[in-house]
Structure formats: C-alpha cells, structure tokens
Amino acid sequence: MRLTHRTLLSLMKRIGGKVDDYAQYRPSALSMQNLIDFGRKAEEKASFNFLRKELLVRLANVMKEVALLPESLLGTPSAMLVYQWYQESFQDLLQFENVEYSPNISNDFTTQLTQIVNRHNTVVETMAEGLMEMKASHGIDPVTQKNIQFFLNRFYLSRISIRMLINQHLILFGQATHPFYQSSQHIGCIDPNCDVIGIIEDAYENARFLCDRYYLRSPGMKLECKNDLQPSQPITIVYVPSHLYHIMHELLKNALRAVTEYQQDKDALPDVHVQVVKGKEDLSIRISDNGGGVPCRLVGNLFNYLYTTASLPSPEIHEPSAPMAGLGYGLPVSRLYARYFHGDLFLVSMEGYGSDAYVYLKALAVEASEVIPAYTAMSKKMFNNVEKSSQWSRAVPTGIYAHVFHLFACASDLR
C-alpha cells in the first residue's frame, strides 16, 4: 500500500521519539576480523543482544537522513513506500528492545529479521523509481542532483551494512541459505579463504552469457595473477563472496559490452585483460578493455545514479531477457560494496582506446573495517552544502598507509 505524505508523517509521530533517541548514537563499525571471531564462537544470545540495539541505531540514522530529502523526492509514491518500509522495520525491532533472551524469543527475532530482509529486497529499484518520478514531475537541477547523489551514496551504504549484519545472524543461527554460503568453511556470509580467481571466473562466465545472448558474441578474458607474499599459493582473502561477485560481474559486464559495441566491425574481438595481485596490505584487481573509453570530463558521471552510457532498458527490467545495461546504478553501487570494508573502486579511461577499472580490497581482515554513514546535528547543513565532514563511523586501520588512505577516502568519497 502506498501512503500519502500526511499518513507517513502520522506514522512517524508514533515512533519519532524512539527514532530520535537511537539516532543520537553512531553505528558501531566492525572489522572483518570482529565478524570472523564472533562467528567462530557462534553465541546466539550475544548476537541477539547486539543486533536488537545496533539495528535500531542503524535504521534510525538512515531514517533521519531520509527525512532531509527534498519534498519533490520524498513526496513521490516510491520514496514514501521506501520510508514506510524503514518505519515498519524499526517498529518491528522495537518489540525486542527490552525483552530477555530465550529460545522462543530468539526464534521470533530470527523470523522478524527474515521478514525485514524480504521487505527491503527491492529498496534500490524502488528508490530508483522515486528518482524517475521526481525527474518526470519536477525535473532535477544540478544542485538537487548533487544533494541526492550524496544522500544515495550514504543511504545505499547503510543498507549494505544493515543487510550484512542481518544476513550474518540468519546464516549463523537461522535457516537462511544462499549458493555463496553453502560451503562448510563459511562463517556466516564470510569466507575466510575467499577464492578470488574463482569468483572472477564465475562473474566472467555469467557476464559472457549475457553478452552472447544480447549481442550474439562476446570477448574472451585473459587472467594474470600474482601472489606477492606467497607465490606458490592461490590468491585468497577474508571476504564476503557475494560482494566480490557483485563488483566483478558489474565491471566485467561493462567491459564486455564496451568492447563488443566499439569493435562491432571487427571479425575478432580483443580480449578483456584482468590482473590480480595480492600484496601485504592490498588485494588489487585491474580490468582493462579496448572498448573505446569515455572522455575524461565524463568519467565522474559514470558514478552518478541514473547516468548510463547504454540505451535505456525496456520496462521489464527484471526479466531474464533484459539488456545488459541501462539502469545506471551498477557502478555507483559496486563502488559502495568495495568501500564498505575500506576498499575502493575507480576508473581510468582513454577516449578512443579503452578503460581500466581498479578495485582495491584489504588483504588483512583486521584492516577491513566497516565504513558506515552516521547522522549528526550537522547532517542537514551538510546535505544542503554537500560538503565532506566527519559524518562517518569507521574503524581506521593503523599505520602510515592507513592514514594516507583515510585522507584519500575523505577527499574522494561522494565526490
């Protein structure tokens, strides 16, 4: 059911005090090592006690920022529906705020978390519909576009963090299943020995399938690997396989499409080159294509929501036969997945030749910490001015490199 703005405000009044209370707290940023250590102990009571508070904090922080959106967007049916989902989820979790742990309570909590995950499954698509509704009815000027870009980066990153915590709990203590997490070595949704090369190969095969289906041919892939510290060992890291797959599939899909379209008059398509290097601090991946590239002035636009170099898809965007590209969310969301655990993703393009996509992930689990937006009293001013400030909750790694990385991230985030 889609709500009117007045009904939405009425619902907000019921829980507004609690939202204000929990929004005063900053989300507790966890490292991959924290999640691994806790998952190995698998203490359901401890997980319950942590999540029933932490999820309320993270949801409240999101809801306070959603309320800062311009009326032209927040008033759209789709954006109001998304806001309603967050309100309902917050209300659902409030019932566990002060209850004592018991097996029955734990079962109810797990059931509630499953319902919340299902409720929020289409948040990205629904918010995208809200943007299109806003654009159709009010248009989007450059200042508004910049504000919304800033908000969406924070909004979707918060969503990733919330789903990470919920999925970790459901896989450890519930009945959740996922093809990525069926191996006995997984700790929740984390693989302590994530096979980087295997995931890249899977992502390529699926991207190639789409390319073959849409263009009737596809480029090959040449893969080079180097494990600098352990040359004889396969390249593995502690990571969330589904996150890495999402990033790799998006980048390879873009590379295959660019090469196929740019080289359409050639009898043979040049290969896409992928280089993977694991060093002491970083796992670095470079994907290079001969897809013609884009002008330097447009590279930044590639990370803007609803900007795309492909033709717009048909309305049946969720059908298996949908085009390879056209929604404009792939790159910005993939970059958020990379940044979520203190990594990064950026592009370098040579117009007339091709593009290189670089992905950097933390090689050490202790340094792969969550980067989570946090609502503060300065958030409203920041939304209006789109200025970078300390509105992030993150556990910063130690060392000179970490300091430089932190400064770089502060300068480049949401640019």
Domain of 248: which CATH number? 3.30.565.10
Residue 394 has pLDDT above 70, yes or no: no
State whether 178 and 196 are in the same domain: no
Specify whether 253 is catalytic.
yes
Which two structure tokens, joined as six digits, stand for 218?
């596809």
**What's the CA gap between 311 and 314, in Å, rounded?**
9
pLDDT of res. 82: 96
Lowest mean pLDDT among 62-66, 305-309, 351-355: 305-309
pLDDT of res. 413: 47
pLDDT of res. 315: 42
Closest CA to 73 of 8, 136, 156, 121: 136
**What's the CA gap between 147 and 414, in Å, rounded?**
10
Residue 179 has pLDDT above 90, yes or no: no
pLDDT band at 327 (very low <50, low <70, confident <90, very high): low
**What's the CA gap between 83 and 103, in Å, rounded?**
32
Is residue 405 in some structural domain? no
Cβ-count burial of 168 within 10 angstroms (0-12 exposed, 13-18 middle, 19+ buried)?
A: buried
pLDDT of res. 143: 84
Q: Which of 158, 186, 214 is the last residue of a domain?
A: 186
Is residue 415 in some structural domain? no
Position 64: which residue type? K
Residue 47 has pLDDT above 80, yes or no: yes
Looking at the 3D structure of the chain, how many domains does it have? 2
Residue 321 has pLDDT above 60, yes or no: no
Position 45: which residue type? K
pLDDT band at 101 (very low <50, low <70, confident <90, very high): very high
Catalytic option among 250, 278, 342, 362: 250
Specify whether 64 is catalytic.
no
pLDDT of res. 297: 94
Specify whether 254 is catalytic.
yes
Is residue 20 in some structural domain? yes
3-state helix, strand, coil in the chain (%, to 5): 55, 15, 35
Catalytic option among 169, 243, 246, 342: 246
Average pLDDT of the chain is 87
pLDDT tens track for 144-176: 888 889 999 999 999 999 999 999 999 999 876
368-391 in b/e form (b: 16+ CB < 10 A) is: bbbbbbbbbeebeebbeeeebeeb
Residue 259 has pLDDT above 70, yes or no: yes
State whether 155 and 274 are in the same domain: no
Specify whether 246 is catalytic.
yes
State whether 81 and 223 are in the same domain: no
Instruction: Identify the domain containing residue 167 by its residue range.
Output: 5-186
Task: For residue 363, give the DSSP letter.
Answer: S
State whether 154 and 250 are in the same domain: no
Residue 37 has pLDDT above 90, yes or no: yes
Report the half-sphere exposure of 44 (CA within 13 A, side-chain side): 16
Closest CA to 239 of 365, 366, 397: 365
Q: Is the model more confident about 4 or about 297?
A: 297
128-152 in b/e form (b: 16+ CB < 10 A) is: bbbbebbbeeeebeeebbebbbbbb
Catalytic option among 61, 153, 167, 254: 254
